[in-house]
Chains A and B, each alone.
Chain A
């Protein structure tokens, strides 16, 4: 691949009018010499093998080019890695011109359809064009030597940056057995991926539910299940604690955790869930026999709850705090027997909480399933407190398994909600906001219906979500043969601070396991074993 970078100047307008690409020599001073040499090189390398330059002798195709991943029409962060792509048009030579209103444009020539954009000029291009459009002009030369130019693809560079790191869990589509999984972090400005913790180094434990407060990583939570028990791993102030959150109130381990903004407490669900199966469509299904919410006060190691978030006849799941910590939002549905799993439809509710006095308010319904006709799950509030994005599916509590799961946005100021335009006919789930509330990442199975990939969407001040794009990879064909699923992508402002060695050690050789103490005010409920559906599997099914 030959890469040429040319400086744009005031001729942009003329060039645009004439429709011809003019390459101008860099200036001034001694760079003229270098420029002349570069120009000569360009002249040689751009010289069509059987005719003039493509900009002068091409046919126009009245359609946009097919590229994969599809980045056309997207809004992209000014700090994203180059959006390498594959031109899915048959040809023997490819030329890509990436231009913009300001700064340097780029031209990439390649005999291959895989287009890799050099990082440094790309970074400059984005930096110079915040709030502007960048244009991708794609030329393809066919076997007969004729160039074809497709309609220009336009992406817009947002003014707002995205948090520079993404943490996610990578695993195969799992059923009951797990052997190989890890939590990774990816630097979004480059393609650098690092292991946060892989279960190869942690006795193949199930590692899940990585949670960060305020998109920061100085505090972090994980949950583990496996040979070493069922524990919560809390990284806090440089130390890792092992906490067994199970008490007489909640025999099931914690999951779906949310940090209180004060970072003095976390709330999690205590689900008694089991997997079962369909004979048509998505094979897997999760049934919740019971699920309450519990609040864990970190400093005094106390687990507590209140009647409205642990009602015996309700499933309470997916807690999330409002950014001011004054309300806990969650989803709630009446319990159903296993055979009526399709009747499980969650409302979106909230309850106020005063952290100072550790007192709860009363429960309010924010959005009722009977009004939407759909089951609400996974609410996440933007850090500015303006928007709440949630999933809605035909039924149930596990949106990643439902093709019907779509993302909806509620304007908390106006109290209105709408289905986002960015949904596909496959499952959308596991969304996470950036710290500036302008970006959202979510898992979507839109590429193939089986493997979830992280997609980013820009959400403007009015709550409009713009066309999403998949996490860019250096190899544009990366997703073509990637047989893992991206689970729970979370945007973070800095790399995870806990080292993988320390996390692994804390899993397989904990110095101490702190047993959470149940708040004496909490009444322990008598549990009926018959409520739990039969589960022929070892829960989690470690192989």
Chain B
């Protein structure tokens, strides 16, 4: 290949990279949305020596440190998208440098293949920037190694050896790729088998030595740490796993391809042909788009959006997004229940949206880590501050010092009268990039004995807080009764308690608490009752009638079931009677008009909130 051709290829690559990266950036910004990435990952980053030193003490810690810093920019979606794009662009550039050094400059689309794998990974939201950075550092080192002008084997060996330990310290597991690629380079390009044989064992020796003398740790962790196909999360999602494995397999395969693919005469690569460039670029973009489209999990993205809006108390959006779900998880149930409560639609529309079937309205024990923050919010808003503290501390232990958790702990400690502890969390937040000014405002408020400007209203929560010390393990019903014993006017606790009785089919307890409606004259004025309450009352009366043979005189404390609901119940009963012997047929017949009624739920233990609802077990991965 002539120098002129190399120059031509260079120009083609630059132009293609510009187009590819622009579209990549748009895709990240508009579809993946860095704000959602931030919401899912919320990487803690703190200025100061302690945070740095803690991370730098372990292999890969420096990648994690830089990743944590750069991920802060996800909060500003365009910045975040540019940041990811820049890193991915540099990965492509380093890949091209390495492939070119192996004599593969003619494979003009090959350097973009890692970016396609990375599109798949970033689609999944759990994939952290650390792995991109680790890969980038490794490829940069490989590119430097391949392009360095030193020819003598001892010098090259020295460079490799000198590079190895710092690179392992910076990147951890991805270092293995460096040793492999350097070895391939020496073996195939330099024809120096001895040096190649030094590089390959380097991949084994350096991590082992570093672990033995400096860092410690289990062997599997020593070699695989920070590789994207290692760890619990990697195996939760097959697409990510395949993409991650593909990403790392690509480089040695590309190197071997570049080296050994039959070399065609230069005439096969005519320079200056724009049509060829357009065709190749189109092929690249189409492939990338196709793979991105095929691997994107729209439902998971919607689940993330639901949780994002719930965290930001955008309740209308929560409800709107929930309607788009094809499958849901428990976290969504918690989010939508809170949304419906705040929109004043919980006792009317609970069964029109995802809900727990034949189970408690929420499950505080045991707490899967994915639900901790949502449960913390729910319990805090209900007024169960100690249990909210429990959830927040579990989340803190699992996820680290995320700002969202620290902010909740600030509020919890203020509510518990531990202002000094609240200050500790605030001063921690003062060391962050994004929450510094918020923390300072709260510190000033604490100093001035003024109310905190936090999302949840402390005074409102304080008025609902449990004041009696109950001890033990509690289920949802006990939590809610403790709250209502403390404050009869706790509307949220009341609605959740009634929802709990409805979901668990405890109609006697439900009816026994109907009188509490009168504790909320503003919310439940007049004689009307929420729809599901009316449905449950009619069902209860029917049950009693069937048991005793006479219609019970139910004390509704001035409440009445509306004629509309009575009429619908008659319709429901008629359809049911018509299919008395065939449950499946009855279900199908009742579905169009009654699928979101309590009668349907009670009869079939689960309403049909959406036509395509999948069972929980087959829902997409939990957040």
B269 within 8 A of partner (CB): no
> A63 to chain B: closest CB distance in Å?
20
Are the CB atoms of B394 and A277 closer together than 8 Å? no
Once the chains bind, are A543 and B369 in contact (CB under 8 Å)?
yes
Stretch at the interface among A27-35, A412-420, A499-507: A499-507
B457-476 interface bits toward A, Cβ cutoff 8 Å, 1 = contact, 0 = none:
00000000011111111100
B397 within 8 A of A: yes
Q: Which residues of A contact B215 (CB under 8 A)?
A: 201, 501
B423 & A501 in contact (Cβ 8 Å cutoff):
no
Q: For the complex, what is the distance from the CA of A77 to the CA of B424, rounded to whole Å?
A: 28
Are A174 and B366 touching (Cβ within 8 A)? no
Q: Using an 8 Å CB-CB cutoff, how does the interface string of A312-332 with B read, 1 for contact, 0 for none?
A: 000000000000000000000
Q: Are B418 and A280 in contact (CB under 8 A)?
A: no
Counting chain A CB atoms within 10 Å of each CB, which of B389, B400, B425, B428 scores highest? B389
Cβ < 8 Å to B, chain A residues 160-208: 172-180, 195, 200-203
Q: Say whether B387 faces chain A, with CB atoms less than 8 Å apart.
A: yes
CB distance from B482 to the nearest CB of A (A): 6
What band does the interface of chain A fall in when counting residues whose beta carbon is under 8 Å from B? 35 or more
Q: How far is the CA of A179 from the CA of B387 in the complex (A)?
A: 20
- In whole angstroms, how far apart are the Cα atoms of A179 and B215 in the complex? 18
Interface string of A506-543 (1 = CB under 8 A from B): 00110000000000000000000000001011100001
- Among residues of A, the one whose C-beta sits closest to the C-beta of B368 is A543
**Complex: chain B residue closest to A178, CB-CB:** B397
CA distance A341 to B473 in the complex (A): 14
Cβ 8 A contact of B398, one of A179, A280, A283, A480? A179
CA distance A281 to B386 in the complex (A): 8
B contact residues around A508 at 8 Å (CB): 217-218
Partner of B471, one of A279, A500, A534: A279
Q: Contact check, A279 vs B466: say whether CB atoms are below 8 A apart.
A: yes
* Residue interface mask B410-433, A partner, CB < 8 A = 1: 000100001011011101101100
**Are A480 and B57 neighbours in the complex by a CB distance under 8 Å?**
no
Residue from A173, A195, A280 within 8 A of B467 (CB atoms) = A280
A276 with B398: CB separation less than 8 A: no
Contact at A448–B418, with CB atoms within 8 Å?
A: yes
B216 at interface (Cβ–Cβ under 8 A)? Answer: yes
Q: A172-B393, A179-B398, A449-B421 are in contact. Are A480 and B387 (CB under 8 A)?
A: no
Residues of B near A537 (CB, < 8 A) are: 365-366
Interface centre among B57, B398, B470, B472 (most CB of A within 10 A): B472
Please, how many angstroms separate the alpha-carbon atoms of A504 and B211 in the complex? Answer: 10
The distance from the CB of B376 to the nearest CB of chain A, in whole angstroms, is 12
Cα-based distance from A63 to B57 in the complex (angstroms)? 45
> Contact: B393 with A509, CB < 8 Å?
no
Of residues 361 through 388 on chain A, the ones whose CB sits less than 8 Å from some CB of chain B are none
**What's the dominant secondary structure at chain A's contact region?**
loop
Over the window 473-488 of chain B, the binary record of Cβ atoms lying under 8 Å from chain A Cβ atoms (1 yes, 0 no) is: 1100000001000000
**Residue of B384, B393, B400, B467 contacting most chain A CB atoms (<10 Å):** B393
B33 within 8 A of A: no
Main DSSP-derived SS at the B contact region: helix
CB-CB < 8 A to A339: which residues of B?
Answer: 472
Q: A279 with B469: in contact, given A177-B398, A451-B424, A481-B424 (CB under 8 Å)?
A: yes
Whether B211 and A501, one on each chain, are in contact in the complex, defined by CB atoms closer than 8 angstroms, is: yes
Q: When A177-B369, A179-B398 are in contact, do A481 and B473 touch as well, CB less than 8 Å?
A: no
Q: A172-B397, A481-B431, A543-B398 are in contact. Are A281 and B469 (CB under 8 A)?
A: yes
Give min CB distance, B329 to chain A, whole Å: 18
B472 touches A277 (CB 8 A): yes
Residues of A within 8 A of B369 (CB): 177, 543
Chain B residues with a Cβ closer than 8 Å to the other chain, count = 49
- A284: chain B residues at CB < 8 Å are 390
A22 at the interface (CB under 8 A from B): no
Residues of A near B473 (CB, < 8 A) are: 276-277, 534, 536
- A284 nearest in chain B by CB position: B390
Complex contact A283–B471 (CB within 8 A): no
A501-B216 contact in complex given A172-B393, A175-B390, A280-B466, C-beta closer than 8 Å: yes
Residue of A nearest to B388 (CB): A283
A200 CA to B418 CA, complexed, in Å: 31
- A480 CA / B431 CA spacing, docked (Å): 11
Q: B608 in the interface, Cβ–Cβ < 8 Å?
A: no
Cα separation A500 to B468 with both chains bound (whole Å): 46
Judging by beta carbons under 8 Å apart, are B393 and A174 in contact?
Answer: yes
Q: How far does the alpha carbon of A255 sit from the alpha carbon of B370 in the complex, in Å?
A: 31
In the complex, what distance in Å separates the CA atom of A195 from the CA atom of B56?
13
| Bound CA span A170–B472, Å | 27
Among the interface residues B213, B221, B406, which one has the most CB atoms of the partner chain A within 10 A?
A: B221
| Neighbour of A509 across the interface among B218, B365, B466, CB < 8 A | B218
**Contact (A536, B365) CB under 8 Å given A172-B393, A201-B216:** yes
Q: A277-B472, A536-B473 are in contact. Are A180 and B393 (CB under 8 A)?
A: no
For A270-309 the 0/1 string (1 means CB < 8 A from B) is: 0000001111110111000000000000000000000000
The smallest beta-carbon distance between A177 and chain B, in angstroms, is 5
> What residues of A have a CB within 8 angstroms of the CB of B326 in the complex?
none
**Which of chain A's residues 469-505 have a Cβ closer than 8 Å to chain B?**
477, 479-483, 500-501, 504-505
Q: B residues within 8 A CB of A200? A: 58, 217
Q: Quick check: is A447 within 8 A (CB to CB) of the other chain?
A: yes
Instruction: Give the chain B neighbours of A173 by CB distance below 8 A.
Output: 393
Q: B424 touching A536 by the CB < 8 A rule?
A: no
CA distance A426 to B471 in the complex (A): 21
Contact of A480 among B214, B217, B397, B424 (CB under 8 A): B424
- Establish whether residues B482 and A504, one from each chain, have CB atoms under 8 Å apart when the complex forms: no
B224 within 8 A of A: no
A427 vs chain B, min Cβ distance (A): 13
Q: Please report which residues of chain B, range 192-223, place their CB below 8 angstroms from some CB of chain A when the two chains form the complex.
A: 211-219, 221
B394: contacting residue among A177, A278, A338, CB under 8 A: A177
| Closest Cβ–Cβ distance, residue A78 to chain B (whole Å) | 29
Which of A195, A450, A501, A538 touches B418 (beta carbons < 8 Å)?
A450
Residue of A nearest to B470 (CB): A279
Q: Does B42 contact A (CB under 8 A)?
A: no
A509 CA / B212 CA spacing, docked (Å): 13
Residue B535, interface by CB 8 Å: no
* A279-B482 in contact (CB<8A): yes
Report chain A residues within 8 Å CB of B406. Answer: 483
Contact with B along A201-217 (1 / 0, CB 8 A): 11100000000000000
Over the window 275-318 of chain B, the binary record of Cβ atoms lying under 8 Å from chain A Cβ atoms (1 yes, 0 no) is 00000000000000000000000000000000000000000000
Indicate if B348 sits at the interface (CB-CB under 8 A). no
Cβ–Cβ < 8 Å partners of A180 in chain B: 397, 400
Query: Is there an interface contact between B366 and A536, defined as CB atoms closer than 8 Å?
Result: yes
Complex Cα gap A285–B474 (Å): 14
Q: Which residues of B contact A276 (CB under 8 A)?
A: 471-473
Chain B residues, CB < 8 A from A509: 218-219
Which residues of B in the span 4-26 have a Cβ within 8 Å of any Cβ on A? none
Give which listed residue, B221, B387, B418, contacts A449 with CB less than 8 A.
B418
Task: Report A-chain residues with C-beta under 8 Å of the C-beta of B219.
Answer: 509
Q: Are B482 and A505 in contact (CB under 8 A)?
A: no
29 CB contacts below 8 A, A to B, read A175-B394, A176-B394, A179-B397, A180-B397, A180-B400, A201-B216, A202-B218, A276-B471, A276-B472, A279-B470, A280-B467, A281-B469, A284-B390, A448-B423, A450-B413, A450-B421, A451-B421, A480-B423, A480-B427, A481-B428, A481-B430, A481-B431, A504-B218, A508-B217, A508-B218, A509-B218, A534-B473, A536-B473, A537-B366
Extra inter-chain contacts (16) besides given A447-B420, A448-B420, A543-B369, CB under 8 Å: A173-B393, A176-B366, A203-B221, A277-B472, A277-B473, A278-B469, A280-B466, A280-B467, A285-B471, A448-B423, A450-B424, A481-B427, A501-B214, A501-B215, A501-B216, A534-B473
Shortest Cβ-Cβ A-B pairs, 7 listed: A448-B420, A481-B427, A450-B421, A201-B216, A201-B217, A501-B216, A448-B421
> A-side interface residues toward B, CB under 8 Å?
172-180, 195, 200-203, 276-281, 283-285, 338-339, 341, 447-451, 477, 479-483, 500-501, 504-505, 508-509, 534, 536-538, 543
